[in-house]
Structure 1
Amino acid sequence: MQRFRVTYRLRAASLAEATARAEGIALEQTVEIPRKVVPAGYVEDEILGRVEDVTQLAEGQWQATLSYSPDSAGDELTQFLNVVFGNSSIQQGIRVTGVDPGPTMAARFPGPRFGIPGIRALCGRATGGLIAPVLKPMGLPPESFAKLAAGCVHGGADIVKEDHGLAGQPTAPFRARVSAVVKAMRQAREETGRQTLYFANLSGPADQIEGNLRFLKDAGADGVLVMPGLFGFGLVQRIAADPSLNLPVMTHPSFLGPYVLAPDTGIDHGVIFGTLQRLAGSDISVFPNVGGRFGFSATECQQIAHACRTPAGPGIPMLPSPGGGMSVARAAEMQAMYGQDVVYLLGGSLLKDPDRIDHAVAAMRAALDASA
């Protein structure tokens, strides 16, 4: 049984202070008791976190690598994340910069069910960037969303994704909306011969989530959008691991922003939007694009894309999905930055003329193909 490793960036004035902070993390993330009262034997030898290395990065900044026993996490992804950054996430000057699950934990959490090859096969797009228009805004009736979805299919979209803000609003309740969109897209696919996928946004009170999940599957949705920042990474894993559902999962970053925005606390962009999403079993990870309204840098976005696709990551590679500030005018720029294995989210730029959304989607497809 091989231990898993977590890399932290620490704020400390000296090697002695950095080492003491690392030793504090080892205690905090596992036994959560003073070092002198840690029981000898199994608890001390196996469960207690180990400081493997402490090195200086810059003035006042240090990197510490700690290892943990798979027994400390068991078979629960939520407990694994609790060991990675539970109580220490409440402390100042500690940031997770890397997570290596090792072979034991990687076997327990096998990652995406579909990944890049599976999503490409499902939507019939063997090469090139994928286009995913977003159904919005909230306040529309189910019939309007259905019409938008059908237009996206006719325009050549690969995926139609519901906006994460579409939940159980009275104007378009979850089940009525899903039923309407599935029906409209089914007809549009028959008319065009396309394989456009529909990812419905999973929502509802906790006691309704399982029922809504089964409903969207039985109704004919092709995939599910989940917000792990609100519903938990454990729900993502539960969906991805269920062969009776056999649904691809797209994860949305809502509520995860505070993890990445402060420079010396939280979790690195590539870890939370790449590594952890893959461990949970997401097939497509949505994140804010550079140049949009959220302020992610090109370096941060490239870090996410690399973590999503690197063969060295947990499970099979998944698709990064940048959104925000995406348009036909930026197609060549974005393709040069992200390459071929990417899902481009298109929202507001497509909705200037909803009745002609098919033309807008087709224009984006043509722009991507021209710059490939």
Structure 2
Amino acid sequence: MRFTVSYRIRASDRAGAMARAEGIALEQTVEVPRAVVPPGYIEDEILGRVEELGQLADGIWQAQISYSPDTVGEEITQFFNVIFGNSSLQQGIRVTAIDPGAEMLRRFPGPGFGIKGLRQRVGRQKGAMIAPVLKPMGQSAAALAALAAGCIRGGADIIKEDHGLASQPAAPFEARVEAIAAAVAKANAETGCNAIYIPNLSGPADQIEARLRFLKAVGAGGVLIMPGLLGFGLVDRIARDRALDLPVMTHPAFLGPYVLAPDTGIDHAVLFGTMQRLAGADISVFPNLGGRFGFSAEECRAIARGCRSPGGPGRPMLPSPGGGMSLDRAGDMIRMYGEDLVCLLGGSLLADPANIHLAVAAMRQAVDAAGASPN
């Protein structure tokens, strides 16, 4: 019944490591000194338990701590709060794995679509998907809509908005989303494609639900969420809504500090893989190897494994590395990540906006050729 979290802990000796592990177990649950934990149900069930403690290297230890589902209830945000709430404010503690257990998987079933559902939705049963990114901010709604239509003529599977498109004066949210959705529907009808448009959901808290309903009503095919800003609870809310019936793509903006310090925070695969799946994301965007953000090859591979592992929570979802994608890297990308992948195509496509269909078509050909070639 209990779920287990693995923490990598910095401590000089075993006694210090055990003291830190027991401190995490207290901090993440009862948040009172051990001597005043009430006996009975709270001590026996609610209090976190240090199940294992082992040494990884000099001064580095790994603890496995189990928690009762009763500490969570039915809220994904409380689930993550128990995993790494107050302890995230302490140095030398890093979450390295989450084993949700059967009960938490029942409460949080994960992606509503996953890889199989997304492939059915866009009509691409094999091969990597390609997703041009509409940008930059400052363009008009009409200009962004024209880019979207051109991308579909080139063979795009997903039209993704840049996470920086909010409700700026040049392209207010409603006008932008309606114009792009209409352009995507028209281009799909003309080409026989089934590309989906994924706008960036943004706005004041009291407008989020209305904007979500709006984008669905005008024909958006999914929704982009920044859980670092809007919260994992919103991802969970959308994924559970079968009437809404929208795939969720998550963007890593604002989450970087969780992974960048080597001995504090959350492992890359856990944050961009396991936690996104638990919240219900179908596509997880993360910085690609060779881009401007400095993730290593092994970190990127680990994220992809976290997204797609059959043993992970819920349906396997699609990893979506962003940055560093070009025609001459298509083969390397497919060899590194495989074909269950969403390739983001960014700023390099915008050199000639009027002929963006040619740039997308060239990338489509390169990705398909890389997938067809023997490894």
Name the TM-score, length of structure 2 as normaliser. 0.99
Rounded to whole Å, the distance in 1 between the matches of 2:320 and 2:260 is 19
Q: What letter corresponds to residue 186 of structure 1 in structure 2?
A: A
Give the equivalent residue in structure 2 for 1:193. 192
1:268 CA drift (Å): 0.3
What secondary structure sits across from 1:247 in the alignment? coil
Structure 1: which 4+ aligned runs deviate by more than 6 Å?
A: none
Q: What letter corresponds to residue 18 of structure 2 in structure 1?
A: T
Rounded to whole Å, the distance in 1 between the matches of 2:323 and 2:358 is 20
1:368 CA drift (Å): 1.0
Give the equivalent residue in structure 2 for 1:169. 168
Matched, 1:35 2:34: yes
Give the equivalent residue in structure 2 for 1:334. 333
1:5-41 deviation per Cα after TM superposition (whole angstroms, max 9, x unaligned): 0000000111111011000000000000000110000
Give the equivalent residue in structure 1 for 2:347. 348
Rounded to whole Å, the distance in 2 between the matches of 1:369 and 1:110 is 32
Give the equivalent residue in structure 2 for 1:8. 7
1:104-150 deviation per Cα after TM superposition (whole angstroms, max 9, x unaligned): 00100000000000000010110000000000000000000000000
1:184-226 deviation per Cα after TM superposition (whole angstroms, max 9, x unaligned): 1111111100001100100110000000000000010000000
Query: Equivalences for 1:265-304 in 2 at 5 Å?
Result: 265-304=264-303
Rounded to whole Å, the distance in 1 between the matches of 2:211 and 2:30 is 38
1:145-169 deviation per Cα after TM superposition (whole angstroms, max 9, x unaligned): 0000000000000000000000010
Q: What letter corresponds to residue 182 of structure 2 in structure 1?
A: K
What secondary structure sits across from 1:166 in the alignment? coil
* Percent identity of paired positions between Structure 1 and Structure 2: 69
Rounded to whole Å, the distance in 2 between the matches of 1:306 and 1:192 is 34
1:243 CA drift (Å): 1.4
Give the equivalent residue in structure 1 for 2:88. 89
Rounded to whole Å, the distance in 2 between the matches of 1:72 and 1:19 is 22
Rounded to whole Å, the distance in 2 between the matches of 1:278 and 1:199 is 18
Q: What letter corresponds to residue 218 of structure 2 in structure 1?
A: A
Rounded to whole Å, the distance in 1 between the matches of 2:254 and 2:109 is 25
1:349 CA drift (Å): 1.4
Unaligned runs of 5+ in 1: none
Give the equivalent residue in structure 1 for 2:239. 240
Rounded to whole Å, the distance in 2 between the matches of 1:77 and 1:193 is 39
What secondary structure sits across from 1:67 in the alignment? strand
Give the equivalent residue in structure 2 for 1:308. 307
Query: Equivalences for 1:199-214 in 2 at 5 Å?
Result: 199-214=198-213
Unaligned runs of 5+ in 2: none
1:44-89 deviation per Cα after TM superposition (whole angstroms, max 9, x unaligned): 0000000000000011100000000000011000001000000000
RMSD: 0.5
1:306 CA drift (Å): 0.1
Give the equivalent residue in structure 1 for 2:257. 258
What secondary structure sits across from 2:242 in the alignment? coil
Q: What letter corresponds to residue 317 of structure 1 in structure 2?
A: P
Number of residue pairs matched?
371
1:369 CA drift (Å): 1.2
Rounded to whole Å, the distance in 1 between the matches of 2:14 and 2:354 is 63
1:371 CA drift (Å): 1.3
Matched, 1:358 2:352: no
Rounded to whole Å, the distance in 2 between the matches of 1:244 and 1:296 is 37
